[in-house]
């Protein structure tokens, strides 16, 4: 027959296990710094974009060059033909400075995240898909649940599913490096020191065009990420990324 003290101790252990660490301090800190950097890059990038909302392919491009495509928005420079009868206020000064500073902050934060993820096993344990996750049945089940917008169970909320893992790996190892590379390739200093880094992209204007499309993909990821957080439980997910913990006690609060 179980004693009351043993039962109370077991119940306490169960509650502690239920509310376990979901995100480490490094993951939480780098997550919020990256979020702030991304928002700064987004705002400043839009301001830079409207100074010349035309895109080209190759090494050079200007108002006398036929664009690859152009955005149907007004510009902040009177010399850029947009079809609008007015010009927006030029904000290139502060926007370029903020874009440069936020980009380097994001790069350094990303390096810290990668180094810590390798040493702590976060990359291996939480992001790399397991063999069982790669089966057709597992993949189809995850896709169907997302298409149905079904709220994940508590057990599912404790780890990333295979679709989330693939998405995060794509963002971390493909989109982020590519947006950094193309951003650096637009710099005359980088082009003069490492011309091959620009040539392989097709030229500085090609780098700018690729930079734009990768930025759009990152924005889509951000919007979907926020939408899925709201679907899965905004308060719980926000608490998990702030305090690092998630569990039944938090679900009920």
Write the pLDDT tens digit of every residue in 197-211.
999 999 999 999 999
List CB contacts of 124: < 8 A, sequence separation 6 or more: none
Question: How many whole angstroms from its chain centre is CA 144?
Answer: 24
Question: At 70, phi and psi to the nearest 5?
Answer: -140, 150
Query: Measured in whole angstroms, how far is the alpha carbon of residue 3 from the centre of its chain?
Result: 51
- Given a contact cutoff of 8 angstroms between Cβ atoms, the answer to whether 18 and 157 are in contact is no
Q: Rounded CA gap, 158 and 169, in Å?
A: 18
pLDDT at residue 144, as a whole number: 58
Q: What is the DSSP letter of 91?
A: -
Greatest CA separation found in the chain?
Answer: 89
pLDDT for 128-184, tens place per residue? 877 656 665 656 655 556 555 555 555 555 567 778 888 899 999 999 999 999 999
| pLDDT value at residue 215 | 97
CA-wise closest residue to 164 among 248, 224, 247: 224
Bridge partner list, 245: 21
Give residue limits of the domains in the chain: 157-253
Alpha-carbon distance 235 to 250, whole Å? 9
Q: Residue 173 gets which letter from DSSP?
A: I
Quote the pTM value. Answer: 0.81
pLDDT digits (tens, 9 = 90+) for 97-118: 999 999 999 999 999 999 998 8
């Amino acid at each position: 027959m179980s004693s009351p003290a043993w039962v109370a101790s077991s119940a306490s252990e169960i509650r502690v296990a239920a509310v376990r660490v979901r995100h480490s301090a490094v993951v939480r800190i780098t997550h919020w710094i990256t979020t702030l950097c991304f928002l700064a890059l987004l705002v400043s990038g839009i301001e830079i974009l409207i100074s010349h909302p035309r895109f080209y392919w190759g090494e050079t491009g200007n108002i006398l060059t036929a664009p690859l495509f152009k955005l149907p928005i007004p510009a902040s420079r009177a010399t850029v033909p947009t079809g609008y009868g007015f010009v927006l206020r030029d904000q290139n000064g502060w926007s370029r400075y903020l874009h440069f500073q936020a980009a380097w902050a994001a790069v350094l934060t990303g390096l810290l995240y990668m180094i810590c993820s390798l040493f702590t096993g976060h990359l291996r344990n939480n992001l790399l898909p397991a063999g069982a996750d790669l089966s057709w049945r597992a993949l189809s089940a995850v896709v169907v649940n997302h298409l149905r917008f079904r709220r994940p169970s508590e057990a599912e909320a404790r780890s990333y599913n295979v679709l989330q893992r693939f998405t995060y790996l794509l963002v971390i190892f493909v989109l982020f490096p590519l947006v950094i590379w193309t951003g650096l390739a637009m710099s005359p200093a980088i082009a003069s020191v490492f011309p091959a880094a620009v040539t392989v992209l097709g030229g500085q204007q090609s780098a700018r065009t690729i930079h734009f499309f990768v930025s759009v993909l990152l924005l889509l990821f951000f919007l979907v990420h926020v939408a899925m957080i709201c679907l899965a439980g905004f308060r719980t997910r926000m608490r998990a990324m702030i305090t690092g913990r998630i569990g039944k006690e938090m679900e009920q609060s």
